[in-house]
Structure 1
Amino acid sequence: MSLRYTPENITSLDRDEIFVFGSNLQGLHHGGAARVAHERFGAIMGQGVGLQGQSYAIPTMQGGVETIKPYVDDFIELAREWDQTTFLVTRIGCGIAGFTDEQIAPLFAEALKLYNVVLPKSFVDVIRKQENK
């Protein structure tokens, strides 16, 4: 199976695509991918979680990785239900929030099995490496 990876810089989306980005619980989309989501893809200032416009916010600024996991799990459930929509996941948590790919990528291991979720290559590499241990 040939995998598709999330592009480094997403500047436009098709009608059936959603931009998945890391946010803060307050929904202050001032930097990084959150800013792009707000400026280009309908992220709503003040909404830090979930679907908004053509974007989906996963909070990453409220604590450790264990506090991010429930939000990623909720996202994966939505992606399973919305199987006609393609979700382009950015390197959530790996910018302003300060986490590494090795910390965040494993949260998306189940998403790798979904044909409609596109992950960054760095996340896929980490997940595959862990699967082969």
Structure 2
Amino acid sequence: MSTPLPSFHRDGESPGAGWIFVFGSNLAGRHGAGSAKAARERYGARYGVGVGRTGSAYAIPTKDGRSGGSLSRPAEILPLAVVRGHIEQFISYARSNPEARFFVTRVGCGLAGFKDDEIGPAFAGAPANCSLPAEWKRYVDAARAVATA
């Protein structure tokens, strides 16, 4: 039996009421820029918590940040395999909470510098209670096709 498909939204859209905002963070939970700042200011992401759910937000780390140094340094970017592991944890959480709706931003594709074709396929297992960026649709569809072949 296949997993029901997630929906997709345009980049830059904001979630409606009742959605959990899923954003790229850093392990230190220093939510100071990009979607992380929006998550802290508008969705209740707690400063200092870099992984998982706080308020109406869910943090997926793409950078380290625990050294206290500048997050703009390339050395702060987590390896793609580590980011994918955090994405798998999120997908498991979303599946375990089918009553919740998750609005996923382009995690890792902004300040962390990953490309859509690197991150998008990692969300191929996202359940129907997730809305993913439309930029990832072709990568999600292709990864799902390979997984079911």
Q: Specify the SS of the correspondent of 2:8.
A: coil
Partner of residue 96, structure 2: 81
Stretches (4+) displaced over 6 A: none
Q: Give TM-score scaled by structure 2 length.
A: 0.79
Superposition map of 1:5-84 within 5 A: 5-11=8-14, 13-15=16-18, 17-62=19-64, 63-84=78-99
Inter-partner Cα distance in structure 1 for 2:10 and 2:59: 18
Contact 1:11 1:40 in 2 (8 A): no
Unaligned runs of 5+ in 2: 65-77
Q: Contact 2:11–2:134 (CA<8 Å) still a contact in 1? A: no
1:115 matched to which residue of 2? Answer: 128
Instruction: Write the distance in 1 (CA, Å) between the matches of 2:60 and 2:5.
Output: 27
TM-score by length of 1: 0.88
Q: Is the 8 A contact 1:18 1:85 kept in 2?
A: yes
State which structure, 1 or 2, has the greater radius of gyration over its C-alpha atoms: 2
Please, what is the CA RMSD of the aligned residues? 2.0
Q: Secondary structure at the match of 2:111?
A: coil
Identity of aligned residues (%): 38
Letter in structure 2 aligned against 1:119: L
